[in-house]
Amino acid sequence: MERLAEVLGQLDLPEISRMLRRTVFAALGLGIAALVVLAVLGYALAGLGACIGLALGIVNIRLVMSTASRLNASGATKIKRPMAMNTLSRLGLTTVIAIGLVVVNLRLGMGVLGGVAVFYLLFVVNLVVTLLRQGAVT
């Protein structure tokens, strides 16, 4: 978590906002494409699961950013523990949802797991591209 904060600290707030916006729009586009393609192939529940997984990723990253902003604005000197606890609880909730959906319906649950994985891949790719454009990575 500290390394992510260090990396994001190299970027200004408007650039982080643009990066997150690109990630969200790419996730929305991929979610729609996955739903359509998988429905045509006869796996509509997997497509729905992918959309749910992408939505979980979007919600999680928004909550991370709002928690970081709130802790930063509070002026707290020790933010490591609250950030870790919030991250752990969100990760636990996401895991429970994904595993619960795998138990309820395998295709739906696997779609959720794939959607979450694809969202974070999109996030990392957008972060790396942003850092390369800024010249922050040597």
What does the pLDDT read at residue 49?
95
Tens digits of per-residue pLDDT, 9-64?
667 777 878 888 999 999 999 999 999 999 999 999 999 999 999 999 999 888 88
Q: Is the pLDDT of residue 66 over 90?
A: no
Packing angle of the helix pair 80-104, 44-74 (nearest 10 deg): 170
Mean pLDDT, the chain, rounded, equals: 86
Q: Please give the helix or strand (H or E) that residue 131 lies within, else none.
A: helix 106-134
pTM assigned to the model = 0.83
Q: Is the pLDDT of residue 138 over 60?
A: no
Q: Do residues 111 and 52 lie in contact, with contact meaning Cβ atoms separated by under 8 Å? A: yes
What does the pLDDT read at residue 42?
95
3-state secondary structure of 1: coil
What does the pLDDT read at residue 81?
77
Give the separation between CA 115 and CA 64, rounded to whole angstroms: 18
